[in-house]
Structure 1
Amino acid sequence: MTNSSNLHGPATPFSGGPRRRTVRLPRRSLMIGAGLLPLVIAGCGTRGSAPAAVAGDQDLLQEHGFAGAEAREIIDRLEALPLAGRPQNLIASVAATSLQLQDDAGRVAELPLPEEQFYLSVAPFVETTHECAFHSLTTCRGELRRRELIVNVVDGSSGEILEEGPRTTHDNGFIGFWLPRGITADLSFTLDDPAGADYAGSATISTQAEDDLTCLTSLQLT
């Protein structure tokens, strides 16, 4: 786990009044290996590690209980598992258009994401974070585990509210969002600290390109 001071400057402790920090996410090109699925074996996927398309291995899906399941169902199931219940012999990585699976036997499978939907998993943080571009459902860990936050997601073009209200982070510290493809949106979180202060942060996100983030770990609450 990388201390946030390496990414954003000194971390802000739980003290003082609320401030708001906006993070605009960069877009970079992917480096895709020919005919391989270079999933990250530990931790989250960083840019440059996005997998190429591969044929699905039905034995992998069968043995891990995913036979007949679509990508969205698998993502939602794995994201919601308690940490102790997450498979240790499986890497499940979310790219912009597909879910890639690889087990410790070297078998791989790729399932397409819904054509009109984009999956973004967000781990807001106060003090510590790690670098991530492509979300690993089995290995990514965030700071704020099982914490309730107030969430607001607004379409940047139309102003439509895509999500609003309380959400609780999963045991891995992430909250997942299924968003429309082809948009930019403003995402904000507010956290009520037991000490009595409110902490907030926001980011502009994109679901338009094949190299857009599926894992957001740079949204600091200050």
Structure 2
Amino acid sequence: MRLSKSAASLAALTLLLSLTACTATGGADDASVGTGASAGLGAEADALLASYDIQAPASATELIDQLQAQPLAERPDGLMASVRVDELLLSSGDGEVSLPLPEDEFRLSIAPYLTDTHECFYHSLTTCVGELGNTDLHVTITDDANAQVLVDSDITTFENGFFDVTLPTGLDITVIIDDGERSVELPLGTRAEDPTCVTTAQLS
């Protein structure tokens, strides 16, 4: 199943008007390209995380890894962690902390599905739940401009049904996901206007 790039862009823009992070409706490998963020979260972020008994790691990218891999039963109730293109937004009640992400990296979270999905634009590390948790898949990602293969890996989705890739910014890409019996092909992007959360990957 392949969506046109124009249809994908229109859908992304429509969702952007109404969504900042997905909501729940319902153990992994991180196939990455690139390096991590600079160290240090700051006193405000450390204090916010400490209020949920979360020890702050050295960088925002490490915090994304930590929260993404967290078992669903251990998710902190009340903490929101929204992955944007250039920042990780932490919020609780009236407080919000912005943690910068590397400018040359794009963090993409994808939740393949068979029958059940939800709308999403910016991935929420503490509320998003996909259908296929702990599922083995093969993922291939190609740069459309030069046919360079950026990712060609066997991965296992996290318990929340997502898998993550870290890619260079400013690209048009083609993502192919295969579970051995079904597959899906998606045209996506890694620009400022593109989603960090993809829940339209229906395996068929």
Find 2:81's aligned residue among 85, 92, 95. 92
Does residue 120 in structure 1 map to residue 100 in structure 2?
no
- TM-score scaled to structure 1, two decimals? 0.73
* Residue 201 (structure 2) pairs with residue 219 (structure 1): yes
Change (3 A) 1:149 1:39: closer
The one-letter amino acid of 2:13's match is R
User: Whole-Å Cα distance in 1 between the matches of residues 131 and 152 of structure 2?
Assistant: 22
Matched, 1:101 2:94: no
Superposed CA offset, 1:152-197 (max 9, x none): 01111121111112110000000011010111111010113xxxxx
Instruction: Please give the TM-score of this superposition, normalised by the length of structure 2.
Output: 0.80
Distance 1:147 1:87 in 2: 24
Change (3 A) 1:89 1:72: same
2:187 to 194, 204, 211: 204
1:75 to 64, 72, 93: 64
1:120 positional shift: 0.7
What is the CA-CA distance between 1:63 and the residue it aligns to? 3.4
| Residue of structure 1 equivalent to 2:121 | 133
> For the pair shown, which has the larger CA radius of gyration, 1 or 2?
1
Secondary structure at the aligned position of 1:28 is classed as helix
- Root-mean-square deviation (CA), in Å? 2.4
Q: How many residues align?
A: 179
CA shift digits 1:96-144 (9 cap, x unpaired): 11110112x4221011111110011000111111111110001001011
Q: Mark the CA change 1:151 to 1:68 in structure 2 (over 3 Å): closer, same or farther.
A: closer
Q: Do 2:144 and 2:174's aligned partners in 1 also have CA atoms closer than 8 Å? A: yes
Matches within 5 A, 1:6-17: none
Cα deviation for residue 202 of structure 1 reads 1.0
Aligned to 1:28: 13
Contact 1:118 1:180 in 2 (8 A): yes
| Gaps in structure 2 of 5+ consecutive residues | 25-41
Q: Deviations over 1:33-91 (max 9, x none)?
A: xxxxx965x716xxxxxxxxxx9834214434354632111111111111111111211
| Residue identity in the other structure for 1:57 | E
CA 1:221 to 1:68, structure 2 compared with 1: closer, same or farther past 3 Å?
closer
Equivalent pair of 1:56/1:110 in contact (CA under 8 Å): no
Which residue, out of 23, 29, 39, partners 1:43?
23
Residues 128 and 57 (structure 1), Cα distance of their counterparts in 2 relative to 1, 3 Å cut: same
**Alpha-carbon distance change, 62 to 69 in structure 1, aligned in 2, over 3 angstroms:** farther
Structure 1 residues not aligned, in runs of 5+: 1-20, 33-37, 45-54, 193-197
